[in-house]
Every structure is written in structure tokens, then in C-alpha cells.
């Protein structure tokens, strides 16, 4: 060589045999390096490599990091009872077939697997369960379904004629053959057999009964298709049957799909993967060849049978290489190792194999189905190899939505519909994606199917019309495929449908003269012609707007307008003139639109409705001139007044200072004011000024005279009194100067004025025509009253007519008062008073309640009461008594409204009479009541009642009564009832205080005895009834007592399941023991039996209740709320003898079932919970009482919360309440209810 290295040479290691006879024989020549530069000085590296090449010929010691076989599961696989076992049959030779799936413990519990051929690629799956009787049941999954078509005709009325191919057989015109199909298949019978209705049934029967109800359509067809989708059908034998002819019948065999069944034979191709999901506790499943497990020649294959695999997303880090490797010379281990992976490809699994470390690692990416892997790891230098198996768990076929539907908004009626999608969904196995769109209006989701306004509901794009009815609807799509593990639901998209309002016609400005109304009109619309609503508004400043109530039409006509004060609405407006109007238009789903605002112009006019009149006044008085006017807008208060005066017959006028109201009152009149003229100047904003007519003032004098005086009178209190007077008014004439405004030189006012002036003018019109005035002197009256004999007088309000009637008179306020009248007239120079009249007032009284006849017991008392009414003041009383019904004498001290007699004696007081005299100060006389009669009764009293008697047959019974009477003799009469007290009859001769019966036989039932006590002057008294019980020498006695557990606070049962407790059994003869009890509950209102032990059949209690002997709790649902019942019991002994029923005991149920008392051992702040109570309809749970006590009697309360309306069903003990640890406490809860 030309240097220290060999350049580009091939280096070989040659192994020669040293065995005898083989010296120098080359066994093998192995390439160490090929075409590489080799440094001959690197001897250690060379030796290591050579040793590695030779290692397969040298005895090695090696350890693999993992045992061969399943690298994933230790809990299942070979021998699993509940898990996965799978086999890649490509690694099992067919010449070892058959193989077995064998229970480890049961020799006859196995399935047979035959492997044939090669190149199998199928992945087949079974569910394996324990079918019982040491048999496995195999159900193959994922078997493709099929459809079969069978034609059916009739051969007379005897047979069906069938043609077609089923799962097992091809039939050609066969009579009633058995037809085979698999669960999940669809089989169609094409029937053409008139007169022969075709049915699929569960039994071979005629008629229409026994029909298969699952998956069948077209039942009963004579001509047409009968289709059966067998999905979900229980495997077994069914029948096709003519409903009219029993012989026309054949079997339909529905088998499980594929190679299924109990311990079946499975036929597979070498290379197929067989997977078994085992759920058979106690039956470990093994894969073996040869003969079944436990027999000679069995070969258990465990190293290459795998279990449950890696889940999608699982993290894997499994060492599959050799952990240690040494040759014969242990001083030189083989440390330079590398690996080659062969077998199934890991592509797409997310896993990778490190050829240096031998580690399989990564994050598992599963496909939609289970994947199975068989790997071989070979150490490159030594050639050593190890086989491994594992699987990945499939995710199932998944649906992926490429584009989620988005919420959208459209305008109703605009012509643009809404679209959701396309979704661009795909399935992981490429299967066709199906779509079902759904909608929700807020109360759940429903499929869209032929829904108006919707299209494309089963495509990836849904179209919805631009209809406002769909506003707010939500949509989503359910995506699926026939292989998907589960459906995929898209996100939810919301459809918003809006409306837009357009004002087509704006309102226009208006003007009017008050009070005429103004009118404004508007028109608005939406593109979908929705109903538009309107609301007119009004504003004073075109800024602040007010709603006009009720103005909701397209046209608004105002109310009667006013110029300067508020109309309606609102009343706060101070003018209509200059106000603004607008309208707000709305439609459902649209934003509000406001029209233009327009202004209203209002004017008005003044109209004088009452001109001032000529007036006649009197010297010293005043006169009023009045004008009345209205404004056309009705705001009459806006009219301004200014009175004017003329002293030169109307030639010149001047304003009267301060005379600015509708009425003007003159100053005190003198002769100077005669012939003055007055008028009024009227004005108002927005109106033309108006002047009234002129009125003339004439002055006169008036005198008043009394012509009749009131007289003294009297009245009863609470009555009224009347006084009357009369008077006259006389006018006095005055003269005037020649320049009088009346136009005559000398004149006189008519002496009577007014109407008299009318009359005199008619008599002499030439004289009076120009001086007729409107002044009619009117006499006025004012009545006055004096309480002090006329010293002082005061006016009586409202007493202003010639007659005066007082109000309701009282003795205290009005007796001896005086009345007079003051007479006056307009213009009179003085008033006139009548004479005084005196009023006398009498009090009145009457008897309002007369004494009534009374009855008293001898030795007792009786009372009599009278009542009277008075107009005022109080009565005084004096009671009187008569022994002879003729003469009465006062009873000393009997001066109250009620009189009570002394102790009564029959001989002295019977038939006496009593009456009362009533007196009243201020009344005209006393009054007397009617009389009442006293009846005195002797009194009978029973000291000892007769007692119940129980005798033995053949004996007598004695009943005794003890009684007394206040006076006189006592009579006895014993009575007997033979029907338990329903009817009674006197016992002849039984008239003493004691009565003994005749001897009584057995049976004697329903007999009762009582005694009637009497006296001619006493009320008869009847004793209590006493029963008679006649027993045999052997008998059973009834319970002597009965109790019901009740709430002592309410006297009601705690709930509708009360407990009854009867007295202990009392044996009446030797050997008698308590064997059973009969319980009887009746509703009191109608005696209806609600529970009777003898009528209970489940369990059979007709022979009596042998469990609840002396205590019984009412079963649930027996009693109602708020009802009164009665309970009785009777006993039965071991000889079958029965007692009578016990005395009924009544009880009443509550309106709410109260909870049972609870017990607790305290923790910190324990919480008590109770269930919601059952409550009578019409009542509601308003609060709860919570009580805690150490004793079940609750005599001492540790803590309580009463009437708690917050903690109705749960209560936590407050932190400041301390309970003793390890101590039992009782908790009592009471529900409080009220009507609702």
C-alpha cells in the first residue's frame, strides 16, 4: 500500500471450519465493508465489526426489552373474559386448521375457525357473550345488509307460490317454502293474489291478529308490495300467512347476520384479521390450534394473539430492541447494535421506529376503524429478531363540516332570500354525507320537512324566503352518513328579518279659526306590505314632543282648537296656535320612522252673548252691570273687559278705573247717578275688539213692612218645627230735572217697580214708555235664632225664605229657643224684624224589646230584660210583679234593664207575671212594657247511669239508675232496643230504679237498655244506653280502647298514614290466644268503607291481619286530605272465634302531610333536608317550623325557627347554636300552609 489506509477496498471476514475432516473449509464469507476507506490501525473497530458478523455462529446470551406478542394490553387479549382478542391469520398456517376459540375452563365451550386460501384482507368483528349452559354466543358485526325480492302468487286457496332468492336459497315456483333473511335486511314480497290478503305474523293464524308491527308496510295487500325492514327485529321464526286460508302459510327465518350463533364455525381466508369483543365473565377465551383445549395435542398460541389497542391520541414509547447481548467471551459485549423493522407499515399511524434504539414512539393517529399491526424487529448485526403485535382503536367514521352556517339578515319583501351553506361536509371514509336541516323558534328543534318558505332542507344549502314570519328563527344541520359513528351537528345560525318603513306622503301645515278642528294626513309602507301603525305627536316648540292619546290612524283631526290655552292632549299645553304636529310610524320588526313636523296656525273671534241691561237702583245702594262674551275657541277666560262711563247721553266715554271684569258694580248711589250710561270694551289676543251696547241707570227709594209674625210652636225631639212670616216692599217715587236722560220734563217711577211698571206702562204708554226700568223690588228674608231669651240674635245660614223649617231638633240644644225673621229689599232704607216665637222640644221614647216569657229550673233563677230607645237621655226602670195576673206591685231594687229573680220555688213562683215601667226626663209621659210569664220546672238529675252488662248465656242482667228531683215524685220507665239503639220500646212493668232482664240465650245481639225519668212539671231525662253482651262459655272480647297518633297542637293526624293502637288482647277462656285482627276505616260523612282488612286480596287478609295485631299504620293512598274518618278493630283467636268491632274512634286528616321526626348526631352547622310536601289542592306551602331537642318529647327545645318562609325544605343550624358532640338530637319539622 502507499499509506496507512486501504483506499476504497472491499473487506471480508472468512469463517473456516476447524471441525475434524473440515480443516480449511470455508463455511461462509461475510462482507465487513464494501468500497470504504479502511484504516488498518483501527483494529478494535475492525474486531468489533468482525465479531458482530460472526455472532450468529457463536453461542449468544441476549435479552429483548419486551416480550414477544401484544405490546399494548396486559388485561385482555389471550384469555380475556372482558375485553378484545384479535388474530392476524396471515401469520397462522392453514395446514394447522381448524383453530379454536376455546373457554379455558369448559371443554365443550368453543367455536371452530377454518382458514383457507391466502391473501385475505378482511377485518371481521364479533361480539362474544356467555349464552349460558357453557356455550359462547358469537354475533358478527358490520355485515353488509341486503335486499331480497320475492314474488308471491296463489295456488287456489291451498298454497302460496313463491319465486326469488333469499339469503340461503333460490326458490322457483315453490309452494309455501321457508324464506331466510338476516336481521337488518329488507325483504319485499311482490304479491299478486286477489282474494288472499298477505300478512307477516308472529304466529301462523288466520284473521288479522298476530301481525308483526316493527318495520312492516303494506300488510294485508292482495295485489302490491309487503315490505319488511328487519332492522332491530329479534331473530327467530315468523310467518307469511293468508288471513282467509289457514293452509296458505310459510315460515320466514330471521337469522343473525354473518357467521353468528352459539359456538359457530367461522370460515376465513388466511390474511384476514379476526377481532372478538368478549363479555363473558368466568369464561376466559383462548386462540389455539390442534384439538380443543384440554384435549391431547392442544397447542396454545399466546404470543401472537393481541388485545385492546392504543386509543386515538395515546402516547406510545415502547422499547422493542435487545436490552443486552453478549457472546462466549463476556469480556467483550456487543454494544454496537442497529435494527430493521419489517411487517405491517406504520404509515399514517403517528408512530415511528428508531432503528438505533429500537424504540417505537409517537402519538397515535387512528383512522375511523380499528387497525391491526404485526411487526418483526431484527437486530442487524446478529440477525436476531422478535415479533410484536398491536392495534389502534378506530374513531369511527366522522363527519367534518367545512363551512359552518352563519347568521344572516335580510329585509322582508325585498326579494332577496336567506341562504345557509354550502356546508362542504365530508366523511372520514368517503361515504356520502346526508343533510337534515332543523329549525327552532325557541321551544326545541324540529326537522324541516315540506315547511313553507324553506327549500333545500336535505342538501348542504338551506334557502329561506324573505318572510318576516321567520324573524329570529334559528337553524342548524344534522350531517350523517350510513357509516358514521355519530351524527355531526353544525353550529346554530340565526335569521334576522327586518322591515324598513318609507313615508310615502308627508303631513302638510294647516290653519283654522278656533274652535274648528285641523286635519293632518300621512301615508307609510314596508316592502312586504306589513301593517304599519301610527302615533301622532304634538309639540309647542318643535323640540319636546307629547303623545296624542288615541291618535293612531293615517289621518289625525284635532279636537276643537283654542288660540292660547291647552287643548287635549295634553292638558298642560298653553296654546294650539303655533303648535307642531308629526307622526311616528312603526311596524313589527322595523325601526321607527318619524315624519316631517308641520305647524298649525289658529285665530279666534269674540261674540257678546249677553248685553248690559238698563238698571234701576235705590239711593244708598249699588247696581251691577254685566256683560257676557265668548271666544270662538272656548277659552272665554282670555276675554279682557274695560267698563266705560258716559254722563252726556253717550256722546263721550271714559274708562272706569279698575272696572275690568264682566260685572261692574257702581259706587253708593245718589241722585247724581241718575241717567248715567255704561258700556264695556272687550278685547282678546288673536281676536278683533268688540264694544257692548250702552245701558242706562235709574235711581229710586224702597221701604219694607212686616204683615204677619211667626207663632210659638212645639215638636218632638228628632222632629222639625216650622215658622212663617209675611211682608211687603213699597217703592217711593222721585222726580227728575227736565234734562233727565228719560226724555220727559217730570216723571214718576211706578210705585211697585218691575211688573207694576209693565202694567202701568200698558195703561199709559205715552207717559211711561220712555221711563220703564227693569228694577223689581224683591223682598228678602233672613231668619235669626236666639239661645238667651232674645238678648242676642244670630243669622241662620240658608234660612232666606218666608218660611223656615228647623233641622232635626234636640232637647238639649233647641228647647225654649226663640226665632224671628229680618225682612229686607234691594234699595230699602231700613230692614224690618218680626216678633220672636218660642220653640218647645219634647223628648220621645219607646220600648224596643219587650220582656219575653222565661223558664227556670227550680232552685235556679230566671231573668227578664227590657230595652227602650230614646231621642236623647237615659231611661230609668221599675220592675213590677203580679201573683194573680191582675194587680202589680213594684219589686224593691229592681231598677235595671234586666231583672234576675231570687232562687225559684215551684210552689211560690210558677206562673207569676213581670213587667217594667220606663221613665224619661223631658218626655210627655212614662211608658209600660208588656208582661212576661215565668214557668218554673222541677229538675231531674241522674247521679249514676246504667252500665254495660256482659253475661254468660242462660243468665240475667240487671241495670240500675240513681236520680233525684228538686220537688215532687220521680217516675221511671225502662226501654229496650233490639237494633243497637235505632228503635226503642217500653218494657212493661219496668218502672223502678232497677231492672233485671229475663235469662238470655246465645246468641243475643244488638240488645241495649235505657231508662226514661219523668215528672209532670219537669223535663223528662233519658239515661245513656247500656249494652248487653251475651257470651258463650267460650268467646272473644273486643278491644276496649283505641288511640290514634295525632298532633296535640292541631288535634289532626300528622299525615295521611296515621298509626292506630288498640288495647291488649284479653283471653276469655283457657287456650284462647290472639291470632289476627280486622281493621275497619269508614268516612264519617257518608259511612263509606275506605279500608277493610277482610277485603284485602294482595296479600290475602280475608282471614285477618296476623302481623298488625294491636298496632296498624294506614297504607299510602288510602286516606284523603282534610276528611274525618272513624276506625274500629275486632280480634280473632286461634280457635277462629271473632269479637265484635270496638267502639268507633274518630280522627281527621290534615291538609298537608307532615314529615317524620329525624335524628342527627351534630357536625358543625348540620343541614336538615326534607322532601317537598304533599298538600291539598287549593293550599300553598308558606313557611316551615324547625325544632331541635335532645328528647323525642320536645319538652325542652334546644333551638327553633318558627314561621320560616325562606328555609322551606332545607335548614342549616346557625353557627351560634352549639350542640353537644356524639349526642343524638331529634329534629321536628312542621309545614305551615294557607289557602291560595
Contact (CB, 8 A) for 606 and 684: yes
Residue 750 CA to residue 774 CA, distance in Å, equals: 11
Question: Domain 1042-1148, what architecture?
Answer: Sandwich (2.60)
Residue 1046 CA to residue 1052 CA, distance in Å, equals: 5
Average pLDDT estimate for 701-711: 88
* DSSP per position, 137-182: EEEEESPPP-EEEEEEEEETTTEEEEEEE-SS-EEEEEES--EEEE
HSE-CB at 613 with a 13 A cutoff on CA atoms is 12
Tell me the CATH class for 144-257: mainly beta
Question: Looking at the domain 701-842, which fold is it?
Answer: Immunoglobulin-like (2.60.40)
Comparing CA positions, the residue from 553, 565, 545, 567 lying closest to residue 523 is: 553
Task: Please give the grid coordinates belonging to residue 504.
Answer: 310615502
More confident position, 981 or 41: 981
Residue 620 to residues 659, 706, 711, 774, 777: CA-CA distances in angstroms?
20, 22, 34, 18, 15
Residue 473 CA to residue 440 CA, distance in Å, equals: 6
| Dihedral in degrees, nearest 10, Cα atoms 165, 169, 173, 174 | -140
Model pLDDT, residue 106 = 87
Q: What angle do CA 194, 200, 206 make, to 5 degrees?
A: 70
Model pLDDT, residue 950 = 80
Residue-wise burial string across 462-497, b where 16 or more C-beta atoms lie within 10 A, e elsewhere? bbbbbbbebbebbbbbbbbbebbeeebbbeebebeb
HSE-CB at 705 with a 13 A cutoff on CA atoms is 6
Comparing CA positions, the residue from 383, 390, 389 lying closest to residue 322 is: 383
Average pLDDT estimate for 900-908: 92
Residue 905 CA to residue 858 CA, distance in Å, equals: 6
Cis omega before residue 257 (within 30°)? no
Question: Looking at the domain 1158-1235, which fold is it?
Answer: Immunoglobulin-like (2.60.40)
Comparing CA positions, the residue from 727, 696, 728, 700 lying closest to residue 829 is: 700
Total Cβ atoms within 10 A of residue 108: 12
Task: Please give the grid coordinates belonging to residue 220.
Answer: 294485508
- Ramachandran assignment for 297, one of left (phi > 0), alpha (psi -120 to 50 degrees), beta (any other): left
Task: Please give the grid coordinates belonging to residue 134.
Answer: 357453557
Average pLDDT estimate for 542-554: 94
Contact (CB, 8 A) for 166 and 253: no
Whether residue 575 has pLDDT greater than 80: no
Task: Please give the grid coordinates belonging to residue 319.
Answer: 422499547
Instruction: For the chain, give every domain's residue range.
Output: 5-57, 144-257, 399-498, 502-603, 608-693, 701-842, 845-937, 940-1031, 1042-1148, 1158-1235
Average pLDDT estimate for 951-960: 89
pLDDT single digits (tens) 84-117: 888 888 877 777 778 888 898 888 899 999 999 8
* SS3 labels along 62-89: EEECCCCEECCCCCCCCCECEEEEEEEH
Residue 287 CA to residue 383 CA, distance in Å, equals: 29
* Dihedral sign, Cα of residue 415, residue 420, residue 424, residue 425: negative
Cell numbers 367545512 correspond to what residue?
402
Phi then psi for 478, rounded to 5 degrees? -95, 115
Total Cβ atoms within 10 A of residue 398: 15
Secondary structure element (H or E) that encloses residue 812, with its range: helix 811-814
Contact (CB, 8 A) for 201 and 241: yes
Q: Do domains 845-937 and 1042-1148 have the same CATH topology?
A: yes
Q: What angle do CA 535, 538, 540 make, to 5 degrees?
A: 165
Whether residue 28 has pLDDT greater than 80: no
Contact (CB, 8 A) for 562 and 633: yes
Secondary structure element (H or E) that encloses residue 761, with its range: helix 754-763
Model pLDDT, residue 370 = 82
Q: What is the CATH number of domain 502-603?
A: 2.60.40.10
CATH 2.60.40 is the classification of domain 608-693: yes
Average pLDDT estimate for 199-207: 96
Phi then psi for 1140, rounded to 5 degrees? -70, 165
**292: pLDDT confidence band, cut at 50, 70 and 90?**
low
Model pLDDT, residue 134 = 85
Residue 529 CA to residue 527 CA, distance in Å, equals: 5
Question: Looking at the domain 940-1031, which fold is it?
Answer: Immunoglobulin-like (2.60.40)
Comparing CA positions, the residue from 391, 389, 387, 361 lying closest to residue 376 is: 387
Strands 82-88 and 837-842, sheet pairing: unpaired
Strands 624-626 and 663-665, sheet pairing: antiparallel
Q: Outline where 179-254 has alpha helix (H).
A: none
Q: What does R_g of the chain's alpha carbons equal in angstroms? A: 62
HSE-CB at 439 with a 13 A cutoff on CA atoms is 21
Total Cβ atoms within 10 A of residue 1117: 8
Cis omega before residue 570 (within 30°)? yes
Strands (E), 203-319: 216-217, 223-229, 236-242, 249-255, 261-262, 265-269, 273-279, 285-289, 299-300, 315-319
Tell me the CATH class for 399-498: mainly beta
Model pLDDT, residue 237 = 97
Contact (CB, 8 A) for 13 and 53: yes
Model pLDDT, residue 1030 = 85
Task: Please give the grid coordinates belonging to residue 25.
Answer: 473449509
Model pLDDT, residue 295 = 43
Question: Looking at the domain 845-937, which fold is it?
Answer: Immunoglobulin-like (2.60.40)
pLDDT single digits (tens) 1151-1173: 999 998 999 887 777 899 999 99
In the chain, the percentage of residues whose pLDDT exceeds 70 is 87
Instruction: Work out the mean pLDDT of the chain and round it to a whole number.
Output: 86
Model pLDDT, residue 22 = 42
Residue 1169 CA to residue 99 CA, distance in Å, equals: 63
Residue 439 CA to residue 434 CA, distance in Å, equals: 17
Model pLDDT, residue 827 = 66
Whether residue 444 has pLDDT greater than 80: yes
Residue 1078 CA to residue 1039 CA, distance in Å, equals: 11
Cell numbers 290534615 correspond to what residue?
1150
Task: Please give the grid coordinates belonging to residue 112.
Answer: 371452530
Whether residue 325 has pLDDT greater than 70: no
pLDDT single digits (tens) 70-87: 666 555 678 888 888 888
Model pLDDT, residue 755 = 42
Whether residue 631 has pLDDT greater than 70: yes
Q: pTM of the prediction?
A: 0.39
Model pLDDT, residue 89 = 84
Whether residue 35 has pLDDT greater than 60: no
Model pLDDT, residue 514 = 85
Contact (CB, 8 A) for 68 and 386: yes
Model pLDDT, residue 896 = 96
Average pLDDT estimate for 1200-1223: 90
**412: pLDDT confidence band, cut at 50, 70 and 90?**
very high
**537: pLDDT confidence band, cut at 50, 70 and 90?**
very high
Model pLDDT, residue 60 = 57
pLDDT single digits (tens) 843-890: 999 999 999 999 999 999 999 999 999 999 999 999 999 999 999 999
Amino acid at each position: 500500500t502507499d499509506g496507512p489506509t486501504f483506499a476504497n477496498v472491499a473487506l471480508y471476514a472468512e469463517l473456516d471450519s476447524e471441525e475434524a475432516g473440515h480443516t480449511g473449509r470455508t463455511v461462509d464469507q461475510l462482507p465487513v465493508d464494501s468500497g470504504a476507506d479502511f484504516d488498518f490501525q483501527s483494529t478494535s473497530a475492525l474486531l468489533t465489526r468482525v465479531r458482530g458478523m460472526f455472532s450468529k455462529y457463536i453461542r449468544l446470551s441476549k435479552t429483548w426489552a419486551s416480550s414477544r406478542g401484544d405490546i399494548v394490553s396486559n388485561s385482555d387479549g389471550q384469555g380475556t373474559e372482558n375485553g378484545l382478542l384479535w388474530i392476524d391469520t396471515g401469520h397462522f398456517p392453514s395446514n394447522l386448521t381448524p383453530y379454536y376459540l376455546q373457554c379455558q375452563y369448559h371443554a365443550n365451550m368453543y367455536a371452530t375457525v377454518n382458514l383457507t386460501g391466502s391473501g385475505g384482507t378482511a377485518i371481521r368483528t364479533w361480539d362474544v357473550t356467555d349464552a349460558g349452559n357453557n356455550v359462547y354466543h358469537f354475533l358478527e358485526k358490520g355485515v353488509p345488509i341486503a335486499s331480497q325480492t320475492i314474488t308471491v302468487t296463489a295456488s287456489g286457496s291451498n298454497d302460496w307460490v313463491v319465486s326469488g332468492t333469499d339469503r340461503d336459497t333460490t326458490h322457483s315456483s315453490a309452494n309455501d317454502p321457508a324464506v331466510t333473511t338476516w336481521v337488518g335486511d329488507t325483504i319485499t314480497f311482490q304479491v299478486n293474489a286477489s282474494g288472499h290478503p298477505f300478512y307477516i305474523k308472529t304466529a301462523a293464524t288466520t284473521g288479522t291478529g298476530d301481525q308483526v308491527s316493527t318495520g312492516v308496510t303494506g300488510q294485508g295487500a292482495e295485489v302490491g308490495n309487503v315490505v319488511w325492514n328487519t332492522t332491530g327485529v329479534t331473530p327467530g321464526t315468523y310467518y307469511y300467512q293468508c288471513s282467509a286460508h289457514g293452509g296458505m302459510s310459510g315460515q320466514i327465518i330471521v337469522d343473525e347476520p354473518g357467521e353468528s350463533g352459539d359456538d359457530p364455525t367461522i370460515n376465513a381466508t388466511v390474511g384476514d384479521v379476526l377481532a372478538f369483543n368478549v363479555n363473558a365473565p368466568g369464561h376466559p377465551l383462548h386462540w389455539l390450534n390442534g384439538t380443543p383445549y384440554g384435549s391431547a395435542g392442544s397447542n396454545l398460541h399466546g404470543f401472537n394473539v393481541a388485545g385492546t389497542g392504543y386509543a386515538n391520541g395515546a402516547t406510545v414509547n415502547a422499547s422493542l430492541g435487545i436490552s443486552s447481548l453478549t457472546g462466549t467471551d463476556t469480556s467483550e459485549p456487543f454494544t454496537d447494535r442497529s435494527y430493521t423493522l419489517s411487517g405491517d407499515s406504520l404509515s399514517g399511524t403517528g408512530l415511528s421506529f428508531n432503528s438505533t434504539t429500537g424504540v417505537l414512539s409517537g402519538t397515535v393517529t387512528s383512522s375511523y376503524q380499528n387497525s391491526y399491526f404485526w411487526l418483526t424487529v431484527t437486530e442487524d448485526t446478529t440477525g436476531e429478531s422478535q415479533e410484536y403485535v398491536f392495534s389502534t382503536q378506530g374513531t369511527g367514521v366522522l363527519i367534518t363540516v367545512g363551512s359552518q352556517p352563519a347568521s344572516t339578515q335580510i329585509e322582508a319583501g325585498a326579494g332577496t332570500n336567506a341562504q345557509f351553506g354550502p356546508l362542504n361536509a365530508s366523511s372520514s371514509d368517503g361515504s356520502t354525507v346526508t343533510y337534515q336541516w332543523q329549525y327552532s323558534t325557541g321551544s326545541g328543534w324540529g326537522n324541516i320537512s315540506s315547511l313553507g318558505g324553506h327549500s333545500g332542507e336535505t342538501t348542504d344549502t338551506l334557502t329561506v324566503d324573505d318572510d318576516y314570519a321567520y324573524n329570529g328563527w334559528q337553524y342548524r344541520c344534522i350531517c350523517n352518513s350510513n357509516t358514521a359513528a355519530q351524527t355531526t351537528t353544525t353550529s346554530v345560525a340565526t335569521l334576522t328579518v327586518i322591515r324598513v318603513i318609507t313615508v310615502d306622503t308627508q303631513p302638510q301645515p294647516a290653519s283654522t279659526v278656533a274652535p274648528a278642528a285641523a286635519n293632518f294626513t300621512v301615508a307609510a309602507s314596508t316592502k312586504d306590505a306589513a301593517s304599519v301603525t301610527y302615533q301622532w305627536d304634538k309639540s309647542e316648540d318643535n323640540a319636546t314632543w307629547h303623545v296624542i292619546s288615541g291618535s293612531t290612524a293615517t289621518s289625525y283631526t284635532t279636537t276643537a282648537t283654542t288660540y292660547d290655552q291647552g287643548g287635549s292632549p295634553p292638558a298642560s299645553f298653553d296654546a294650539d296656535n303655533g303648535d307642531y304636529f308629526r307622526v311616528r310610524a312603526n311596524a313589527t320588526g322595523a325601526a321607527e320612522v318619524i315624519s316631517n313636523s308641520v305647524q298649525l296656525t289658529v285665530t279666534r273671534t269674540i261674540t257678546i252673548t249677553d248685553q248690559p241691561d238698563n238698571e234701576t237702583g235705590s239711593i244708598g245702594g249699588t247696581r251691577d252691570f254685566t256683560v257676557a262674551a265668548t271666544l270662538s275657541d272656548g277659552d272665554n277666560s282670555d276675554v279682557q273687559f274695560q267698563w266705560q262711563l258716559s254722563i252726556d247721553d253717550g256722546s263721550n266715554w271714559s274708562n272706569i278705573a279698575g272696572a275690568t271684569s264682566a260685572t261692574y258694580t257702581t259706587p253708593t248711589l245718589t241722585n247724581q247717578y241718575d241717567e248715567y250710561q255704561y258700556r264695556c270694551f272687550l278685547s282678546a289676543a288673536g281676536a278683533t275688539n268688540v264694544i257692548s251696547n250702552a245701558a242706562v241707570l235709574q235711581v229710586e227709594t224702597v221701604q219694607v213692612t212686616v204683615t204677619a209674625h211667626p207663632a210659638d210652636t212645639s215638636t218632638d225631639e228628632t222632629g222639625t218645627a216650622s215658622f212663617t212670616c209675611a211682608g211687603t216692599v213699597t217703592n217711593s217715587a222721585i222726580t227728575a230735572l227736565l234734562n233727565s236722560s228719560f226724555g220727559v220734563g217730570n216723571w214718576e217711577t211706578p210705585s211697585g217697580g218691575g211688573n207694576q211698571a209693565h202694567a202701568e206702562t200698558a195703561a199709559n204708554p205715552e207717559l211711561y214708555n220712555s221711563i220703564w226700568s227693569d228694577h223689581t223690588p224683591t223682598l228678602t228674608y233672613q231668619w235669626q235664632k236666639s239661645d238667651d231669651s232674645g238678648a242676642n240674635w244670630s243669622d241662620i245660614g240658608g234660612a232666606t225664605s218666608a218660611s223656615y223649617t228647623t233641622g232635626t231638633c234636640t232637647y238639649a240644644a233647641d228647647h225654649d229657643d226663640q226665632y224671628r225673621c229680618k225682612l229686607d229689599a234691594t234699595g230699602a232704607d231700613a230692614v224690618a224684624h218680626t216678633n220672636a216665637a218660642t220653640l218647645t222640644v219634647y223628648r220621645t221614647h219607646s220600648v224596643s224589646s219587650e220582656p219575653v216569657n222565661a223558664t227556670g229550673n227550680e232552685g235556679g233563677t230566671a231573668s227578664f230584660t227590657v230595652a227602650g230607645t230614646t231621642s236623647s237621655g237615659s231611661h230609668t226602670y221599675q220592675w213590677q210583679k203580679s201573683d194573680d195576673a191582675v194587680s202589680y206591685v213594684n219589686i224593691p231594687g229592681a231598677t235595671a234593664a234586666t231583672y234576675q229573680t231570687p232562687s225559684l220555688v215551684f210552689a211560690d213562683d210558677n206562673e207569676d207575671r213581670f213587667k217594667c215601667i220606663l221613665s224619661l226626663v223631658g218626655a210627655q209621659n212614662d211608658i209600660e212594657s208588656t208582661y212576661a210569664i215565668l214557668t218554673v220546672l222541677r229538675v231531674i238529675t241522674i247521679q249514676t247511669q246504667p252500665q254495660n252488662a256482659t253475661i254468660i248465656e242462660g243468665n240475667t242482667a240487671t241495670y240500675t239508675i240513681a236520680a233525684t228531683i228538686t220537688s215532687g215524685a220521680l217516675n221511671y220507665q225502662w226501654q229496650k232496643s233490639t237494633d243497637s239503639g235505632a228503635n226503642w220500646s217500653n218494657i212493661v212493668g219496668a218502672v223502678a230504679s232497677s231492672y233485671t232482664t229475663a235469662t238470655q240465650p246465645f246468641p243475643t245481639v244488638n240488645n241495649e237498655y235505657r231508662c226514661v225519668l219523668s215528672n209532670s212539671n219537669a223535663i223528662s231525662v233519658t239515661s245513656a244506653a247500656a249494652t248487653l253482651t251475651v257470651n258463650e262459655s267460650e268467646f272473644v272480647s273486643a278491644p276496649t280502647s283505641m288511640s290514634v297518633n295525632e298532633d296535640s297542637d292541631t288535634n289532626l293526624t300528622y299525615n295521611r298514614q296515621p298509626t292506630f293502637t288498640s288495647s291488649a288482647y284479653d283471653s276469655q277462656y283457657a287456650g284462647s290466644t290472639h291470632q289476627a285482627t280486622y281493621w275497619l276505616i269508614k268516612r264519617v260523612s257518608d259511612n263509606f268503607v275506605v279500608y277493610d282488612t277482610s277485603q284485602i286480596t294482595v296479600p290475602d287478609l280475608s282471614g285477618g291481619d296476623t302481623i298488625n295485631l294491636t298496632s296498624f299504620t294506614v297504607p299510602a293512598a288510602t286516606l284523603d286530605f282534610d276528611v274525618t274518618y272513624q276506625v274500629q278493630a275486632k280480634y280473632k283467636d286461634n280457635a277462629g272465634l271473632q269479637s265484635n268491632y270496638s267502639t268507633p274512634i274518630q280522627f281527621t286528616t290534615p291538609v298537608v302531610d307532615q314529615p317524620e321526626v329525624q335524628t342527627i348526631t351534630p357536625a358543625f352547622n348540620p343541614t336538615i333536608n326534607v322532601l317537598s310536601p304533599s298538600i291539598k289542592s287549593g293550599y300553598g306551602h308558606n313557611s316551615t317550623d324547625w325544632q331541635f331537642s335532645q328528647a323525642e318529647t320536645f319538652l325542652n327545645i334546644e333551638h327553633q325557627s318558627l314561621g320560616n318562609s325562606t328555609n322551606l325544605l332545607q335548614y342549616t343550624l346557625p353557627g351560634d347554636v352549639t350542640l353537644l358532640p356524639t349526642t343524638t338530637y331529634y329534629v321536628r319539622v312542621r309545614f305551615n300552609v294557607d289557602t291560595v
